[in-house]
């Protein structure tokens, strides 16, 4: 209220105030405040109701055609252009194929000359073992990847569209099954040819391997639609045990523990036929059921396999097989979830060795390949190919020892973690090789009888020579595994190198294809050529000195820098001044 409103006029100028009969003076009425206007009600907003509209159906064929045109229209190079540029790869493929055919023909002649009971049983059982190995590998790959996968981009928009997933994914499933059939058939036929089977037997085993792998891939796809994995795991272990039993039977017959193997020869012709029929039935039945149930596959399952495939493709682009294994190890760790931590023991380098042994005890499945590799020298000797045993057994041992070098792999790829230890690179790598070296020593003790012949009818070696050959083979496998683990990845910071028809490549990319294999070949080839074993020992010693990190350039540069800093500090102290010494570079 304003001041004018609060002012009360008591009288009118020039007039006396009015009085009432009782003598009182009337007072002016107090003005009441004006009532505030009521706020206007807010207008009522109309409530928007989402109308449930039936989505318009999408033609899956038209969508696939659009995706195909999109990809082809933005491609910068065609397949024919890549073939023309990769003429070196085509020539190398032809040469390797011709060499492989020559090896197969020579192996056929060498194996056919061995007519002992051990050779006959090996010819019968090795295709069985190869078939079981192919089927187990097919199940493992199908369980890890899919077999039906989709990329992250497709899972983001394509799998959320109102479409039928079966119309989009059935082509991928069919292509995966066809690929499994072809790869398994080639591998199964190759092993049958190397084991001395007839050409009709080679065809039969190739068909059995291909149809069996295709049928199991279809079963894996059907289980993927139901989001189950225990069935595939169970089948994988069963097939693996059957293959291991076949290999052990080869050893038992070669050693004379099972003198009668006639029932194996009689059942050989029926076994591949049974596998072919069962594989064909699974391929048709489980394949059709999987195609009909493709709409039930979860998007997360599809995208998970697609992301793994993308990571493997990136590693394959760099030809880095070690990185591919790292991706699979990480996937296995994520599937495991968590582990219970355990306390270490010891101090210094002994603590690293104890930790490596402790890791092996906690995850004993890393020893499976090592146990399987023990059978390889016996099987090779039973076939009459004992001359090739150092090379073949060394390569198999390389594969078996790689899982035992996990600590060395981590310390080799993580320089900051390795520098945090108060030890040099040579000391750390030597400690990381202790547990694999003990495993390789046990392997040498187990396979020494195989190099002695073990009743196979082939040329026998004396106990001393057999021990030396087995030791050199074990050393070749160990050093090859260390080379495979510690090899540096391609360096994209250095200038590219021109590699013929392949174009420019970063340094070290081609070397990734033969890492590990080169060490096994250098150490074991003198034995293959009949040279003195001292040549292999000297080569192994040089390889150990280099792989141990005794001439590590990073350590040498760090030592030179440390000497320079100490020299500058000594000069500053001699001159009496305090010169600030820069910290060492890391």
Shared domain for 279 and 427, answered yes or no, is: no
Within-domain flag for 463: yes
Alpha carbon 122 to its chain centroid, in Å, reads: 32
Indicate the pTM of the whole model. 0.71
Within-domain flag for 525: yes
Within-domain flag for 30: no
Q: Count other C-beta atoms under 10 Å from residue 545's C-beta.
A: 12
Where a domain ends, among 264, 289, 317? 317
Shared domain for 480 and 563, answered yes or no, is: no
Shared domain for 271 and 224, answered yes or no, is: yes
Within-domain flag for 95: no
Domain extent, residue 581, equals: 552-586
Within-domain flag for 571: yes
Q: Which two tokens stand for residue 565?
A: 């800093």
H-helix or E-strand containing 505?
strand 504-505
Q: DSSP string spanning 105-137?
A: HHHHHHHHT--SHHHHHHHHHHHHHHHHHHHHH
Shared domain for 170 and 267, answered yes or no, is: yes
> What φ, ψ does residue 504 adopt, rounded to 5°?
-85, 135
Amino acid 555: pLDDT? 62
Shared domain for 509 and 573, answered yes or no, is: no
Shared domain for 277 and 180, answered yes or no, is: yes
Q: Are 356 and 435 in contact (CB under 8 A)?
A: yes
Q: What is the mean pLDDT of the chain?
A: 75
Within-domain flag for 273: yes
Shared domain for 428 and 476, answered yes or no, is: yes
Amino acid 408: pLDDT? 85
Q: Are 353 and 435 in contact (CB under 8 A)?
A: yes
* Helix-helix angle 434-452:389-401, to 10 degrees: 150
Where a domain ends, among 290, 317, 344? 317
Tell me the per-residue pLDDT of 417-444, one tens digit each, with 9 for 90 and over.
777 888 888 888 888 889 999 999 999 9
Within-domain flag for 339: no
Shared domain for 566 and 484, answered yes or no, is: no
Shared domain for 562 and 542, answered yes or no, is: no
Within-domain flag for 301: yes
* Helix-helix angle 117-145:165-194, to 10 degrees: 160
Where a domain ends, among 295, 317, 339? 317
Amino acid 87: pLDDT? 54
CA–CA distance, 254 with 241 (Å, rounded to integer):
20
Helices (H) and strands (E) in the chain, counts: 24, 2
Shared domain for 401 and 516, answered yes or no, is: yes
> Tokens 């790292």, residue?
326
Shared domain for 162 and 300, answered yes or no, is: yes
Alpha carbon 557 to its chain centroid, in Å, reads: 34
Tell me the per-residue pLDDT of 288-305, one tens digit each, with 9 for 90 and over.
998 888 888 887 778 877
Total count of domains within the chain: 3
Tens digits of pLDDT across the chain (586 residues): 444 444 444 444 444 444 444 555 555 555 566 666 666 665 555 555 445 566 666 677 777 777 777 767 666 666 666 555 555 556 656 666 666 666 556 655 555 556 665 566 666 677 787 888 888 888 888 888 878 888 777 777 777 667 777 777 888 888 889 989 998 888 888 877 777 677 777 888 888 888 999 999 999 988 888 888 888 888 888 888 888 787 777 677 766 666 655 555 555 556 778 888 888 999 999 889 988 888 888 877 788 777 787 777 777 776 777 778 888 888 877 777 777 778 878 788 888 888 888 888 888 888 888 888 888 888 777 766 777 788 888 888 998 998 888 888 888 877 777 778 888 888 888 888 899 999 999 999 988 888 887 655 445 677 788 888 889 999 999 999 988 888 877 767 777 766 655 556 776 676 677 788 888 888 888 888 888 888 888 988 888 888 887 666 666 666 677 777 778 888 777 776 555 555 555 5
Shared domain for 546 and 562, answered yes or no, is: no
Alpha helices in 256-292 (DSSP H): 262-292
Burial pattern 100-120, b for ≥16 Cβ within 10 A else e, equals eeeeeeebbebbeebebbbbb
């Amino acid at each position: 209220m304003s001041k004018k409103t609060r002012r009360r006029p008591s009288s009118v100028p020039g007039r006396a105030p009015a009085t009432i009969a009782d003598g009182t003076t009337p007072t002016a009425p107090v003005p009441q405040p004006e009532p505030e206007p009521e706020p206007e009600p807010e207008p009522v907003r109309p409530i928007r109701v989402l109308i449930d509209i039936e989505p318009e159906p999408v033609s899956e064929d038209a969508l696939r055609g659009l995706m195909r045109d999109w990809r082809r229209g933005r491609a910068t190079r065609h397949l024919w252009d890549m073939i023309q540029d990769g003429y070196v790869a085509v020539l190398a493929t032809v040469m390797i194929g011709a060499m492989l055919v020559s090896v197969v023909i020579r192996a056929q002649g060498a194996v056919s000359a061995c007519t002992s009971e051990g050779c006959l049983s090996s010819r019968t059982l090795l295709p069985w073992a190869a078939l079981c190995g192919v089927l187990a590998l097919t199940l493992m790959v199908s369980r890890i990847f899919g077999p039906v996968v989709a990329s992250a981009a497709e899972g983001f928009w394509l799998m959320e569209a109102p479409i039928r997933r079966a119309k989009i994914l059935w082509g991928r499933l069919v292509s995966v099954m066809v690929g499994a059939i072809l790869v398994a058939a080639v591998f199964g036929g190759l092993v049958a040819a190397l084991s001395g089977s007839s050409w009709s037997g080679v065809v039969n085993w190739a068909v059995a391997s291909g149809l069996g792998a295709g049928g199991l891939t279809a079963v894996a796809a059907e289980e993927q639609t139901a989001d189950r994995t225990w069935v595939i795991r169970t089948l994988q272990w069963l097939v693996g045990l059957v293959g291991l039993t076949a290999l052990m039977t080869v050893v038992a017959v070669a050693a004379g523990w099972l003198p009668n193997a006639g029932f194996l020869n009689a059942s050989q012709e029926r076994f591949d036929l049974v596998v072919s029929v069962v594989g064909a039935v699974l391929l048709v039945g489980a394949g059709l059921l999987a195609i009909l149930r493709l709409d039930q596959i979860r998007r997360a399952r599809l995208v998970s396999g697609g992301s793994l495939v993308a990571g493997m493709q990136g590693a394959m682009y760099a030809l880095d097989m070690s990185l591919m294994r790292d991706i699979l190890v990480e996937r296995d760790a994520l599937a495991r979830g968590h582990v219970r931590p355990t306390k270490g023991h010891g101090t210094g380098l002994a603590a690293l060795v104890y930790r490596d042994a402790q890791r092996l005890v906690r995850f004993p499945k890393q020893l499976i390949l090592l146990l399987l590799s023990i059978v390889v020298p016996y099987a090779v000797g039973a076939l009459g190919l004992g001359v090739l045993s150092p090379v073949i057994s060394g390569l198999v041992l390389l594969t078996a020892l790689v899982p035992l070098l996990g600590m060395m792999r981590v310390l080799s790829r993580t320089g900051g973690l390795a520098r945090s230890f108060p030890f040099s690179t040579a000391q750390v790598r030597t400690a990381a090789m202790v547990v694999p070296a003990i495993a390789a020593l046990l392997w040498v003790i187990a396979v020494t009888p195989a190099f002695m012949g073990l009743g196979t009818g082939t040329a026998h070696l004396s106990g001393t020579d057999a021990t030396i050959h087995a030791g050199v083979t074990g050393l070749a496998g160990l050093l090859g595994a260390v080379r495979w683990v510690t090899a540096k990845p391609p360096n994209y910071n250095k200038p590219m190198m021109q590699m013929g028809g392949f174009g420019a490549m970063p340094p070290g990319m081609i070397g990734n294809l033969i890492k590990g294999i080169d060490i096994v070949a250098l150490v074991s080839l003198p034995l293959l050529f009949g040279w003195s074993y001292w040549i292999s020992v000297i080569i192994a010693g040089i390889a150990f000195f280099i792989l141990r990190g005794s001439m590590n350039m990073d350590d040498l540069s760090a030592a030179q820098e440390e000497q320079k800093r100490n020299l500058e500090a000594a000069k500053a102290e001699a001159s009496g001044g305090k010169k600030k010494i820069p910290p060492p570079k890391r």
